[in-house]
Amino acid sequence: MEEAMSQECVSNTDVPEAKPVSETNASPFGKSKSQSDIPVATSKQTLTELFSHKYKMDYPNRGKAIIINNKTFNAGTGLDVREGTDLDASALDNRLSELGFDVDLKNNLTADKIKATLQKAAKLDHRDNDCFICAILSHGGDGYIWGTDRMIPINDLMEPFKGNKCLSLAGKPKIFFIQACHETDMNVGDGKDVEPQFSCLKIPSEADFLIALSVVPGYYSWRNETNEAKCSWFVQALSEVLKKHGQTMDLMTMITHVNQIVGDMFQSDTSRPDMKEKKQIPLVTSMLTKEVYFTSK
């Protein structure tokens, strides 16, 4: 069990955010395709790298990390201000910087600007980078996240990074953390239950992604809500685990620790009787083919 959480964001009063995807659209890449329809990418690897159980993480650079932090939204959307999200963004910025990422924090982007930002990132030359990370903090629902003006499918955000499109990231980890909340039309779950020769390897273009969503489909995503701290449970746990184990533990084990912290150590404390003592568990979709270690450079 993890020790008590750090004081970057700790609170005893909680408010709900909401489901990031629907149960019928849980796949981050949308509807399934027949095997013959799945495109392939070519990844240039040494034989040692090819047969290793770990991704090669000793390139000159750790890689690019983009944090999209949407706090305020256009009046026409009817969405409330996401209080506390700046603290989430700051915590992630600190953790990823400590791991050696070149972090680019973007605030309050429209849907078109979010797409343009990620398309631009996918067109960069990542040949000297270990991997890529994107963290999105916003409202969301039913397989979408919100720009400041309108919704955008989560699928569209990952599309430019597929191995057949972003060739310099083919065979490398592409990691997405999504903290999505929604203020209306939310379902409340019963949360209380609970040497080297080179080989050109053809790989599925969807391979090497990991998508960690703050909550499973159909349930609230919660954050602490006080004047001192308003951190989301998911980002609070993720920040703590990255701080303690970021350079020694593989990514999937770290995410499992995050799930444990969110699922076991948090429980809602609110004045609304129908919202009291609720629980949350993140949803992780992994197409990783090897272990990811952010070892010190």
Tens digit of pLDDT for each residue in 181-202? 644 333 333 333 323 333 334 4
- Whole-number Å distance between alpha carbons of 187 and 19: 8
pLDDT at 269 over 70: no
76-126: per-residue pLDDT in tens? 999 989 888 999 999 999 999 999 999 999 999 999 999 999 999 999 999
Contacts of 265 (CB under 8 A, 6+ apart): 1, 2, 5, 237
Q: Nearest to residue 281, comparing CAs of 249, 248, 258?
A: 258
For residue 231, the model assigns a pLDDT of 77
200 is catalytic: no
Most confident of 157-166, 175-184, 212-221: 157-166
For residue 45, the model assigns a pLDDT of 67
Q: Give the confidence band of 295 by pLDDT, cuts at 50, 70, 90.
A: very high
Strand partners, 46: 198
- Whole-number Å distance between alpha carbons of 246 and 253: 10
181 is catalytic: yes
Fold observed for domain 14-286: Rossmann fold (3.40.50)
Among residues 9, 166, 181, 231, which one is catalytic?
181
CA distances (Å), origin 272, targets 11, 17, 224, 276: 17, 15, 15, 6
For residue 48, the model assigns a pLDDT of 73
- Which residue has 């959307």 as its token pair? 77
CA distances (Å), origin 262, targets 10, 80, 239: 13, 24, 12
For residue 30, the model assigns a pLDDT of 52
- Whole-number Å distance between alpha carbons of 222 and 228: 16
- Computed on alpha carbons and rounded to an integer, the radius of gyration of the chain in Å comes to 19
For residue 195, the model assigns a pLDDT of 39
Other Cβ atoms less than 10 A from the Cβ of 184: the count is: 10
pLDDT at 281 over 50: yes
- Do the Cβ atoms of 245 and 198 come closer than 8 Å? no
Among residues 126, 139, 182, 257, which one is catalytic?
139
SS (H, E, C) the chain: CCCCCCCCCCCCCEEECCCCCCHHHCCCCCCCCCHHHCCEEEEEEEHHHHHCCECCCCCCEEEEEEEEECCCCCHHHCCCCCCCHHHHHHHHHHHHHHCCCEEEEEECCCHHHHHHHHHHHHCCCCCCEEEEEEEEEEEEECCEEECCCCEEEHHHHHHHHCCCCCHHHCCCCEEEEEEEECCCCCCCCCCCCCCCCEEEEEEECCCCEEEEECCCCCCCCEEECCCCCCCEHHHHHHHHHHHHHCCCCCHHHHHHHHHHHHHHHCCCCCCCHHHCCCCCCCEEEECCCCECCCCCC
Q: Give the confidence band of 282 by pLDDT, cuts at 50, 70, 90.
A: confident
**Lowest mean per-residue pLDDT among 32-46, 64-78, 107-121, 228-242:** 32-46
- Whole-number Å distance between alpha carbons of 59 and 44: 14
Furthest CA-CA distance within the chain: 64
